[in-house]
Amino acid sequence: MSQIVRMFLIVFVAAFGLMYATAYLNESEGYSGDNTLTVYNWGDYIDPELLERFEEETGIKVIYQTFDSNEAMMTKIKQGGTTFDVAVPSEYAISKMKEDNLLLPIDHSKLPNLKHIDSRFMNLSFDPENAYSVPYFWGTVGIVFHPDLVGDLTFESWDDLWDPSLRNNVFLLDGAREVMGMGLNSLGYSLNDTNEEHLQEALAKLSKLTPNVKAIVGDEIKMLIANEEAAAGLVWSGDASEIMYENEELDYVVPKEGSNLWFDNMVIPKSARNLEGAHQFINFMLDPEVAAQNAEYVGYSTPNKEALAMLPEEISGDERFYPDEELTARLEVYDNLGPRMLSHYNELFLEFKMHRK
């Protein structure tokens, strides 16, 4: 037998043995085939106790993985390699994933708990009839601030962020849509504006904000603002809730010019292997008791009307996180702007960040 053939056989036997051992271990622990469900979600976006409860009730092992942006999530799903049974993208990402044929339709007959979702959050433009997605959380983008550190500023207007008294005292989310949207809204334009003159006007105004910007950061923004490392910050409402839990002196407001009304929905990626388990998990998360527990843990607004009724009044009655219809009417959902315009938004945002250096 030649040396090459001998080496090939050794490698083949070793690889086969490894595959067999892995399959054996997985099966012996009950983690194979239909007993495994891979969930792809944002970081710190579910109560871990609920994953344990789902496993206990169904016998399905949950493999939980996280992402930090819609773009990273879409890229990984599009590339394949890792199989995800349930994912939680935002509205504009859902629209894009539908275009790219990355989603499977959802069987509503397997989701009896879908009836608990408030009709206001169903049948929205990014997914008519909720053919491919089911509401998970919703919220706004606004400003969290420390009243004692900002003087007379109330942030009822986006323009307050530009006040000279806030020099080196503002944190911004590291998100192109959020920051460019803020710039556009502050000028009275739509946060989905594609008019080049308006975009350049927004960039020019954002450039004037740079003296006030202490840093552009990710998840660490919660800890930094809670520790009063800056007087104010551009944040998602759920992050604001968590920040305010850690530091009760802080407040949150959505400026009068308008802002983003976002939705994160549960979907089933096209490469899913455990369709039955995926529907079981989605239906489990729609259970009012489960949704209420999850909302208290995460701090974001629940679209589940029965769950909302179970929450303490200090949560369900807080209009900063459950805004009235007057404010909601001034909010916009992010549209899917298409790859060219989305790339342009990212380029403008990068230009803004480079201007700070």
Binding residues for spermidine: 92
- Residues 80 and 270: their CA atoms lie apart, in Å, by 10
- Residues 321 and 314: their CA atoms lie apart, in Å, by 11
Of residues 52, 51, 88, the one with CA closest to residue 70: 88
Of residues 123, 45, 43, the one with CA closest to residue 91: 123
Amino acid in position 354: M
Q: How is the chain split among helix, strand and coil, in percent rounded to 5?
A: 50, 20, 30
Q: Quick check: 231 and 124 in contact, CB under 8 A?
A: no
φ, ψ at 356 (rounded to 5°): -75, -20
Residues within the annotated binding site?
A: 92
Whole-number Cα distances in Å, 264 to 37, 42, 223, 238, 334: 20, 10, 23, 12, 12
